[in-house]
Amino acid sequence: MELKIINYGGIEYQKMTELRTKILRKPLGLTFTEEYLQSDRDDILMACVEGEEMIGCCILTIIDTSTIQLKQIAVLDAFQKQGIGTRLVELAEMIAKEKSINTITLHARKVVTDFYLKLGYIIEGEEFVEVNIPHLQMTKVLD
């Protein structure tokens, strides 16, 4: 298993988009628009691969000089509960620190807030609806 940063547009990015669609969008009856995917161009794209298979991924979007947003974290069902999500979040935090960014924010689906709480994220504000399901904004100030 390898964690790495991938480039926008190539074969690995296509695999990432397929994984995000399968795990995050298809179960909700949603798809990505081409316009939405264009926003990935300026983001930091992280992947967890095993051989040629994309088994996990997430995205970092720089908000400003002190804040980065973690989004679109997805892990194949067969690989869940094996620490891959945790490793992706840890990589995201390491990248943020390397960029001298001290705060990570995210919109967590309500069903996975416990995952982020265990990693030191705190809930901020009230529940809201995004992609037709309940979410909570969470943040973590990095050491």
Where is 101: in which H helix or E strand?
A: none
Q: Domain-by-domain residue ranges, the chain?
A: 2-141
CB 110 within 8 A of CB 136: yes
**Can you read off the two tokens belonging to residue 36?**
């939405």
Q: How many angstroms separate the CA atoms of 46 and 59, rounded?
A: 6
- pLDDT (mean) for 32-39: 87
pLDDT for position 32: 86
The CATH label, of 3.40.630.30, 1.25.50.10, 3.40.47.10, 3.10.580.10, for the domain at 2-141 is 3.40.630.30
Q: What is the reported pLDDT for 36? A: 85
Predicted structure pTM score: 0.92
Mean pLDDT (the chain, rounded)? 94
Q: Report residue 70's pLDDT band, with 50, 70 and 90 as the boundaries.
A: very high
Residue 90: the pLDDT is 96
The pLDDT > 90 percentage for the chain reads: 87
Q: Are strands 67-75 and 103-109 parallel, antiparallel or unpaired?
A: parallel
